Structure 1
Amino acid sequence: MAIARPVRALGLAALMMWIFFLYTILKPTPGLVGPDKYKTFERDPQLDPLEEPEGKLWRATEDYAPDAKNPARINATLLALVRNEELEGMLQSMGDLERTWNSKFNYPWTFFNDVPFSEEFKKRTRAATKAECRYEVIPKEHWEVPSWINDDLYKESVKILKENDIQYADMLSYHQMCRWNSGLFYKHPAMENMQFYWRVEPKVHFFCDVDYDVFRYMQDRNKTYGFTVTIYDAPKSIPTLWPETEKFIAQHPEYLHPNNAQLWLTDKTRRPEHWEQANGYSTCHFWTNFEIADMSFWRSKVYEDYFNHLDRAGGFFYERWGDAPVHSIALGLFEDKSKIHWFRDIGYQHIPFFNCPNSPKCHGCTKGKFYDGEPFLQKEDCRPNWFKYAHMD
């Protein structure tokens, strides 16, 4: 039996409306899918021609010689947590940083290890610099698993982390390292008289000649923290870090700085799946394998209280809280965001990410490069959010 033409028209119209309804719900939102989703600035500022910072800069003079009687150096050090077996990678990093910067200023190197350094390590690192080298062992009470961590719960937690493909989840030393880098390194007696440090990891590259004293720059401009790369963290490694932070804020609302970067920490538009899995935290963080910082912030009552709260919560072991999100959250909430500085002029690589300025002083990296590999790594770049919610300094 043939269906009447009006009925067919009505059915076709209903079908079209249903298709339109599904399309409205499921259609890709412009600018929120594919590679373009992550291009949230019109032009990457790293592509712009680079000039040195304005204002007075401290240049290399005889006062920066290794044996200067009245050195221009301030209380600062190059800091590396490194194992004996990572010697070759450390020499790589030292060679680059000495060539591009420290051979002019001769700031001391301070090496940390949880065991004594070998004579070969000492001999070869001393030969890589004219500056003083210091070799320190981390106190056992700073490295050991704290007494309040339940070993059975830790083991069960590791299984869950491994099921979620969290890197280094079953390496106890990695958890210990994250905790030490978060809140204990600056308590070592060797750091007692130091105010600033520049963290240097094995197997990193420095590409650009920097001709001014960056520690003096930090001091003269009243900067607390300097970074080169900011990216997203693995949300399943830190599911309770933000909830614990919110508990801390509820207890100490007075600690929030009026010019904070909380919107950078809580943005959910660019990576909503991260925000959801991290329970309200964007997972944006400064990649702390490079950081230049004033330890006065870490030594403050605000940060000490925050670190102790997190330490007691156990997430350094029951989850895989890293020093990067811990430092970044603390800076983003409790410090003036104008005191956080992007060292755009320091060319840096820790595979797969770059900070590669557009400058004739940079050699060996592609100008304006941020990542090494497939374009999908662009989504890990959190600089657009920093520029949006904080500032360009």
Structure 2
Amino acid sequence: MPRNRRVNRLLALVALVVVSVFIVRKINHSATPQVSQQQQEESLRTTAPKHPGSSPPSPNPLLQEVGEPDGILTHMGDTDRRRANATLLSLVRNSELRGIVRTMQDIERTFNSKFNYPWTFFNDEPFTEEFKRRTQAMTKAPCRYELIPKEHWEAPPWINKDIVAVSGQILVEDDIMYAKQQSYHKMCRWNSGMFYKHPALKDVRWYWRIEPNTRYYCSIDYDVFRYMEDNDKTYGYVINIYDAPQSIRTLWPTTMEFVAQHPEYVNPNNALRWLTDSEIRPNHNAIANGYSTCHFWSNFEIGDMDFFRSDAYDKYFEYLDHAGGFFYERWGDAPVHSIGLGLFLDKSKIHWFKDIGYLHMPYYNCPASKKCSGCHAGRFTDAGYLNRENCIDNFFKYVHAD
């Protein structure tokens, strides 16, 4: 099918979905809680006996003594001090200088003063001289300051602004954060499938994503990049949570369209059951049309860009990009990365860095470790009602804990 016809077809489908959702919500809004309750009760009746894992959550592993991960480790005093081909990566605005400086203090104190990996900062606007001066002063490692090309940042030409306006209002009515903040949508798209295409990273393999105003609580005495490389890991995370299903209604159906066209990309040892669980949060699965919404919270991630550059992931991103959901809905880079990893990667290559104490408000990863301070062991959040957003038990149930 010619590209223009395909784009027009996708736009028509998206428009139909947007209008349908709008009409259904307006006409049948009062019935939604009843349907959700029926779905939940039916799910519990029909599936609970089949999966004993739906019983009460397992003991919190962060309350047990947490040490360094098993496997090959490279420490500061080791003879083999070869560094991985890696960078600390941060997408940050000039206005976030104070926040990134504080986070750099944590990273340098806990890790990078020992291993001296370079920093690469990205912005859609030129960095100020003050930003460069103050960030470089925080580290002995080299810093690079990169401008994102317009064609990587701006909405692509096939995005229909009228649909964006209508769908944005639906997101607002669903209380979706940043619904009409176009810079947020652009950021999600860039982090999903554009960052690894930047010329500054073309010869770099590994990255550790660092965000301003995040905190790090534990001394990291081994090289995390070498750990990933030497132990055949591809992706590392610390927090595993649910997403707002109203923000990604068509992400899973669009993914299934791609998979139907490219079944060869699906890894036999995948994490599909984690991605499609409907027992614990059945209403999430229903609203997201088959997706549990569980995902790795990507404000912390240590990853192999060779995976994202692979045909499987890169073509997947291109398919999503042309569907328009980064702008017509609020597809985030976290669920997009997680679905790509969960389908196309051997799940044994995913690692939980449970020994790294971390905070991105309002969620923590706090291990019981003598190397940590200022982080209450086992804490997930200070807001009790948010504990239900933790999806780590689901990951243990369907995938593994390493």
| Alignment TM-score > 0.5, same fold | yes
* CA–CA distance in structure 2, aligned partners of residues 63 and 146 of structure 1: 49
Bigger shift: residues 151-160 or 218-227: 151-160
* CA–CA distance in structure 2, aligned partners of residues 379 and 368 of structure 1: 14
C-alpha spacing 1:26/1:182, structure 2 compared with 1 (3 Å): closer
C-alpha spacing 1:39/1:111, structure 2 compared with 1 (3 Å): farther
* CA–CA distance in structure 2, aligned partners of residues 38 and 112 of structure 1: 42
Q: What is residue 69 of structure 2 aligned with on the other side?
A: 53
**What is the SS of the residue equivalent to 1:242?**
helix
Q: What is residue 214 of structure 2 aligned with on the other side?
A: 204
**What is the SS of the residue equivalent to 1:354?**
strand
* CA–CA distance in structure 2, aligned partners of residues 40 and 345 of structure 1: 24
Partner amino acid for 2:62? Answer: Q
**RMSD, matched Cα:** 2.1
* CA–CA distance in structure 1, aligned partners of residues 89 and 212 of structure 2: 11
Q: What is residue 156 of structure 2 aligned with on the other side?
A: 146
**What is the SS of the residue equivalent to 2:177?**
coil
Structure 1 vs Structure 2: percent identity of aligned residues? 61
Q: What is residue 259 of structure 1 aligned with on the other side?
A: 269
Partner amino acid for 1:379? Answer: R
* CA–CA distance in structure 1, aligned partners of residues 387 and 327 of structure 2: 30
Instruction: Give the 5 Å matches for 1:353-392.
Output: 353-373=363-383, 375-392=384-401
1:305-339 deviation digits (Å, cap 9, x = unpaired)? 10010000000000000000000000001100000
**What is the SS of the residue equivalent to 1:346?**
coil
Deviation of residue 92 (structure 1)? 1.1
**What is the SS of the residue equivalent to 2:227?**
helix
Instruction: Give the 5 Å matches for 1:1-393.
Output: 40-61=56-77, 72-373=82-383, 375-393=384-402
C-alpha spacing 1:126/1:140, structure 2 compared with 1 (3 Å): same
Alignment TM-score, normalising by the size of structure 1: 0.88
* CA–CA distance in structure 2, aligned partners of residues 90 and 227 of structure 1: 20
Deviation of residue 193 (structure 1)? 1.0
* CA–CA distance in structure 2, aligned partners of residues 287 and 327 of structure 1: 9
* CA–CA distance in structure 2, aligned partners of residues 299 and 26 of structure 1: 42
* CA–CA distance in structure 1, aligned partners of residues 56 and 107 of structure 2: 32
C-alpha spacing 1:372/1:154, structure 2 compared with 1 (3 Å): same
* CA–CA distance in structure 2, aligned partners of residues 72 and 350 of structure 1: 31
Unaligned runs of 5+ in 1: 1-24, 65-70
Bigger shift: residues 46-55 or 334-343: 46-55
**What is the SS of the residue equivalent to 2:152?**
helix
Deviation of residue 57 (structure 1)? 1.4
Q: Is the 8 A contact 2:72 2:231 kept in 1?
A: no
* CA–CA distance in structure 1, aligned partners of residues 69 and 244 of structure 2: 34
* CA–CA distance in structure 1, aligned partners of residues 69 and 173 of structure 2: 47
**What is the SS of the residue equivalent to 2:367?**
coil
**What is the SS of the residue equivalent to 1:324?**
helix
Moved over 6 A (4+): none
* CA–CA distance in structure 2, aligned partners of residues 321 and 223 of structure 1: 26
**What is the SS of the residue equivalent to 2:364?**
strand
* CA–CA distance in structure 2, aligned partners of residues 217 and 241 of structure 1: 32
Q: Is the 8 A contact 1:249 1:256 kept in 2?
A: yes
Deviation of residue 279 (structure 1)? 0.4
C-alpha spacing 1:173/1:26, structure 2 compared with 1 (3 Å): closer
* CA–CA distance in structure 1, aligned partners of residues 265 and 311 of structure 2: 10
Larger Rg: 1
Number of matched residues? 357
* CA–CA distance in structure 2, aligned partners of residues 344 and 385 of structure 1: 16
1:198-252 deviation digits (Å, cap 9, x = unpaired)? 0000000000001000000000011010000000000000000000011111111
Q: Is the 8 A contact 2:119 2:143 kept in 1?
A: yes
**What is the SS of the residue equivalent to 2:378?**
coil
1:43-97 deviation digits (Å, cap 9, x = unpaired)? 1111111121233311114989xxxxxx722210000000000000001111111
* CA–CA distance in structure 1, aligned partners of residues 203 and 304 of structure 2: 12
Alignment TM-score, normalising by the size of structure 2: 0.86
Unaligned runs of 5+ in 2: 1-39
1:128-179 deviation digits (Å, cap 9, x = unpaired)? 1111111000001101110000111111111111111110011111010000
**What is the SS of the residue equivalent to 2:252?**
helix
Q: Is the 8 A contact 2:171 2:179 kept in 1?
A: yes
**What is the SS of the residue equivalent to 1:161?**
helix
**What is the SS of the residue equivalent to 2:259?**
helix
* CA–CA distance in structure 2, aligned partners of residues 156 and 112 of structure 1: 31
Deviation of residue 377 (structure 1)? 1.1
**What is the SS of the residue equivalent to 2:351?**
strand
Deviation of residue 341 (structure 1)? 0.2
Bigger shift: residues 294-303 or 45-54: 45-54
Q: Is the 8 A contact 2:235 2:350 kept in 1?
A: yes
